[in-house]
Amino acid sequence: MDQVYLLEDDESICELVQCTLDMRGIACKTFPTVKAFTAALDEGVPDVVLLDVMLGDGNGLDVLQAVKSRYPQVSVIMLSALGKETDKVRGLNAGADDYIAKPFGVLELVARVNAALRRSRKSGSVQKGSLILNTDTMTVTFRGKPLDLSNKEYQLLRYFMLHEGKVLARENILAEVWGYDGGETRTLDNYVARLRKMGLNFETVFGVGYKFIAD
């Protein structure tokens, strides 16, 4: 499921945005402080970030620059009562992908979030939680650190990431990643075991196969 983080100190706006996105199948986590948001970002990276500018314990533009310097692939949309043209230009020049002035309509918000998600899917990376796979360079980072993967480990992990949260049958995995058309092999189990040692979460579904769960 797509994941959105909202950094906003107005509780009523948090409830409105979270309810609106959840109803449309977009998971949304809200954070009232920069401290709480930063801690959550260390544990998992969302697809889109919504940022207020004026916050009780910080400035949204500073948070924007911190997010973009560490996770440049994450789309950031500013949500602010500062709605003048100069405010929007300042936010966009600071690295924001979009800027929505308050008060805003929920339909506009959903449309802009969906547009950001579409751009994210077209980019050269696949992201699930804090796991980021770059399809252009064939590199993977987990919690900000690179993983040393063989080509087959990369292909297997990519397949799991594209089907994150779904139970995948062993025979389907073998067919898609190895090209096997049948037969029993421990190859898949050995590769999953190696990926688990790197801290990745794979659930064994007995009699069926595996399910990958992003953190």
- Can you give the pLDDT at residue 197? 96
Rounded-to-integer distance, Cα 71 and Cα 131, Å: 11
pLDDT class of 76 with cuts at 50, 70, 90:
very high
- Can you give the pLDDT at residue 84? 92
Chain centre to alpha carbon of residue 110: 17
- Can you give the pLDDT at residue 182? 60
- Can you give the pLDDT at residue 157? 95
Which residues lie below 8 Å from residue 17, measured CB to CB, with a gap of 6+?
A: 6, 8, 28, 30, 50, 79, 109
pLDDT class of 122 with cuts at 50, 70, 90:
low
- Can you give the pLDDT at residue 125? 77
Chain centre to alpha carbon of residue 136: 18
For the chain, which residues make up each domain, given as ranges? 3-122, 127-213
- Can you give the pLDDT at residue 42? 77
- Can you give the pLDDT at residue 154? 92
Q: What is the mean pLDDT of the chain?
A: 90
142-195: per-residue pLDDT in tens? Answer: 988 899 999 899 999 999 998 888 999 998 898 888 877 665 678 899 999 999
DSSP 99-133: EEESS--HHHHHHHHHHHHHHHHHSSEEEETTEEE
Q: Which CATH architecture has domain 127-213?
A: Orthogonal Bundle (1.10)
Q: What is the mean pLDDT of residues 124-138?
A: 83
Of the CATH numbers 3.40.640.10, 3.30.70.360, 1.10.10.10, 3.40.50.2300, which one belongs to the domain with range 3-122? 3.40.50.2300
- Can you give the pLDDT at residue 144? 84
Rounded-to-integer distance, Cα 1 and Cα 189, Å: 26
99-121: per-residue pLDDT in tens? Answer: 999 999 999 999 999 999 888 76
pLDDT for 123 beyond 80: no
pLDDT for 83 beyond 80: yes
- Can you give the pLDDT at residue 120? 72
17-68: per-residue pLDDT in tens? Answer: 999 999 998 999 999 999 999 998 877 778 899 999 999 999 999 999 999 8
Instruction: Give the pair of three-digit tokens for residue 23.
Output: 């109803």
- Can you give the pLDDT at residue 183? 58
Instruction: Give the pair of three-digit tokens for residue 102.
Output: 């308050």
